[in-house]
Copies of this chain bind each other. A is one copy, B any other.
Amino acid sequence: MHRSRIGVLLIDHPAGSYDAAAAFWAGVTGTRRSADTTISDDDPYEPLRPLPGTVKLELQRTGAGTPPRVHLDIETDDVPAEVARVEALGARVATRHEGWAVMEDPGGMLFCVVPVQTGADFAAHATTWP
């Protein structure tokens, strides 16, 4: 017998977009980056604030030609305000839908901003932005 779980989520960016993307995701998650963190080819990792509470996991069947991928949904109680917040951090809207948006981070990676999906876990674990 052995045990396992999906326990770590990594946001990968090549060197050319790493700095902008790292600053962006630190801002999105409210992570204060450590001045002591040194990224090297031998140790190319940098921690962000972990994700507390239960995170939903879903499959999506996408259109032909779409690459297989994992994408993140940011859930929020105010989609326009959150879109504006992440735009100010460096994201851009790719496609705007009724009540939610597909966006790209500064390295061109897709994510979405959506209404609250997790109920009690959102109430317990969401970050309040001024």
Binding site for B on A (CB under 8 A): 1-18, 21-22, 25, 28-29, 39, 44-78, 81-82, 85, 105, 107-109, 113-114, 116-118, 121-122, 125-130
- CB pair A15 B63 closer than 8 Å: yes
Of A21, A50, A74, A127, which is in contact with the most chain B CB atoms at under 10 Å from its CB? A50
| Residue from the list B8, B22, B108 in contact with A118, Cβ < 8 A | B8
Residues of B within 8 A of A25 (CB): 59
Asked whether B22 lies within 8 Å of A44 as measured between CB atoms, the reply is no
Residues of B within 8 A of A10 (CB): 57-60, 70-73
Question: Which of A47, A69, A122 is the most central at the interface, judged by chain B CB atoms within 10 Å of its CB?
Answer: A69
**Contact of B14 with A74 in the complex, beta carbons under 8 Å:** no
| Given known A6-B29, A72-B9, A75-B4, contact A14–B65 (CB-CB < 8 A) | yes
Contact A6:B55 (CB < 8 A) given known A68-B12, A68-B21: yes
- A117 CB contact (under 8 Å) in B7, B22, B76: B7
Chain B's closest residue to A40 (CB) is B61
Which of B12, B48, B57, B70 makes the CB contact (< 8 A) with A51? B57
